[in-house]
Amino acid sequence: MYFAAVAISIFAGVLWVVLRYLGRRRKEYAVGFFHPYTNDGGGGERVLWCAVRAIQAENPDLSCVIYTGDEATSESLAARARRQFGVELSSLPKVVRLQKRRWVEPKSYPYFTLLGQSLGSMVLGMEALLKSTPLVFFDTSGYAFTYPLARALGCQVVSYTHYPTISSDMLARVLRRTSAYNNNLVIARSHLLSLLKALYYLLMMLSYGLAGRCVHLAMVNSSWTQDHIQRLWRVPNRIKRVYPPCDTRTLQTIPLRRKGESTYFISVAQFRPEKAHGVQLEAFARLLEGLHAADFSTQSRSSSVRLKLVGSCRNKEDEERVEKLKLRCSELGIAEQVDFLVNVTYRELVDLLGGAIAGLHSMIDEHFGIVVVEYMAAGAIPIAHNSAGPKMDIVAEQEGCRVGFLAASVAEFASAMAKVLCMPEEELLEMAALARQRAMSFSEARFDEDLKAAISPILSHTKHKGLNQG
């Protein structure tokens, strides 16, 4: 574990010296957005395009450069922003294609994944910065180990952090020897291996904190993330909370009263392990069991209740995960009442949200939870995990009344789903209306306003520097 910290320190030191020398060259009058995956379809990508739009509006003369590992053109990315997220860019961004994205892929590092990805992000970041060195380097994907490189090159470093790469919560789970998607059972069962992993995490936290201190402005997406970043980076005066942009405007035009022959719950999440789709399937199976055991009227209704899992697949591993989830549905006996909808368009997603009675979210320690806000804006009652962003920021009371449900176990999720099904329609509509009102706190307009206020000093400095270059 000691060698992990030494490796990062030596690597960073060599790069710092080299880049300080290279940093004397002329920089492009641009904001460079470091976002290696521009096709993930999640909340992070929405942040990217809304941030580009906001900066284009704030400073039209400033070019926007997208560093991506995807095969994309300026036209295709602008079309994707419009098609997937309803974001209209005022001008086409410049695209810088990254060839070394495999350096940040988890599968490249079967062991010491955090260390591998951290060092790999430095390689990828160096490729990006040497291909195009902007006046402002804006990381929207959480690769903090690129910040020392960008700062060494003389860039203003801005980040939008969705969640810390390493956190005290992760360390606590290892010390408690809790098995999770990022702490396998073999390590959790061993006292020695858990101790060694805890030491590894401590060293990674130290390195992450040092990298984070190179930022000029750190925007964070929630109270939970802000708390962790403040403790890790120790730059409180440079941290601003900017809630992520949620599509409240389009979704709020959906009628609150649900229409359609079937009653269904919806889950919108990328098919990644941490999203805990398995918990949702087990909760849905338990819900159906409870409905079948109830009176005749409830039994007849249970046959029309469905669960729709909506999400994107980034790669083959995600596609294989979907197939495993389908097999799990068969094992639970719910395959006939569960639909998998992969890589749907934005318009299709809006239609699906408009018919859902409630929306499920089951990720533990979700940094914020954009999808929970989208449920609320669309009139679907949120049933979210009782932790982090949903608990601290989103599913809070509105005008002293409940706007949704929080759950932490299969039983609690099933119970919340049953409560939604059993609520009188008028009571359900009242809760949905309050939830929609609450969602306004996280609108795209609010994001634009807060982001512009936070980044305005950086852009003013950039404009002054650009005039000096000219």
Instruction: Map out the domains of the chain with their CATH numbers.
Output: 2-245+445-469 (3.40.50.2000), 248-442 (3.40.50.2000)
Q: How far apart are CA 370 and CA 357, in angstroms?
A: 18
Distances (CA, A) of 395 to 381, 398, 441: 10, 9, 12
Q: What is the pLDDT along the chain (470 residues), one digit of tens a residue?
A: 555 555 556 655 665 565 555 555 678 999 999 999 998 777 889 999 999 999 999 999 999 999 999 999 999 999 999 988 889 999 999 999 999 999 999 889 988 889 999 999 999 999 999 999 999 999 999 999 999 999 999 999 999 999 898 887 777 776 666 655 555 655 656 767 778 888 888 899 999 999 999 999 999 999 999 999 999 999 999 999 999 998 788 899 999 998 766 899 999 999 999 999 999 999 999 999 998 776 544 544 556 899 999 998 878 888 999 999 999 999 999 999 999 999 898 889 999 999 999 999 999 988 899 899 999 999 999 999 999 999 999 998 887 788 999 999 999 999 999 999 999 999 999 999 999 999 998 988 999 999 999 999 999 877 666 545 55
Q: Whose CA is closest to 51, among 68, 70, 61, 64?
A: 64
Q: How far apart are CA 362 and CA 94, in angstroms?
A: 37
Q: How far apart are CA 124 and CA 116, in angstroms?
A: 12
CB 153 within 8 A of CB 122: no
Cross-sheet strand order for the sheet of 358-360: 338-342, 305-311, 263-268, 358-360, 381-385, 405-407
- For residue 299 the two structure tokens come to 């039994």
pTM of the model: 0.77
Q: Please give the distance of CA 461 from its chain centroid, rounded to a whole number.
A: 29
CB-based contacts of 207, cutoff 8 Å, min separation 6 = 5, 8, 9, 118, 145
Q: How far apart are CA 339 and CA 350, in angstroms?
A: 16
**Pairing relationship of beta strands 358-360 and 263-268 according to DSSP bridges:** parallel
Q: What is the pLDDT of residue 170?
A: 77
- For residue 333 the two structure tokens come to 């006996």
Q: Whose CA is closest to 146, among 178, 98, 186, 111?
A: 98
CB-based contacts of 264, cutoff 8 Å, min separation 6 = 305, 306, 307, 308, 355, 356, 357
The alpha-helical segments, DSSP class H, found in 305-424 are 316-332, 346-355, 370-378, 388-389, 410-422
Q: How far apart are CA 284 and CA 329, in angstroms?
A: 10
> Is the sign of the CA dihedral 404, 408, 414, 415 positive or negative?
negative
Q: What is the pLDDT of residue 135?
A: 96
Q: How far apart are CA 79 and CA 95, in angstroms?
A: 14
DSSP bridge partners of 157 = 137
CB 368 within 8 A of CB 225: yes
CB 358 within 8 A of CB 420: yes
Q: Which residue has the tokens 């495999």?
A: 102
Q: Each residue of 232-281: pLDDT tens digit?
A: 999 999 999 999 998 788 899 999 998 766 899 999 999 999 999 999 99
Q: What is the pLDDT of residue 174?
A: 66
Q: How far apart are CA 170 and CA 57, in angstroms?
A: 39
CB 201 within 8 A of CB 269: no
Q: What is the pLDDT of residue 284?
A: 97
CB 170 within 8 A of CB 365: no
Extract the runs of DSSP E, i.e. beta strands, from 238-323. 239-241, 263-268, 305-311
Q: How far apart are CA 241 and CA 167, in angstroms?
A: 18
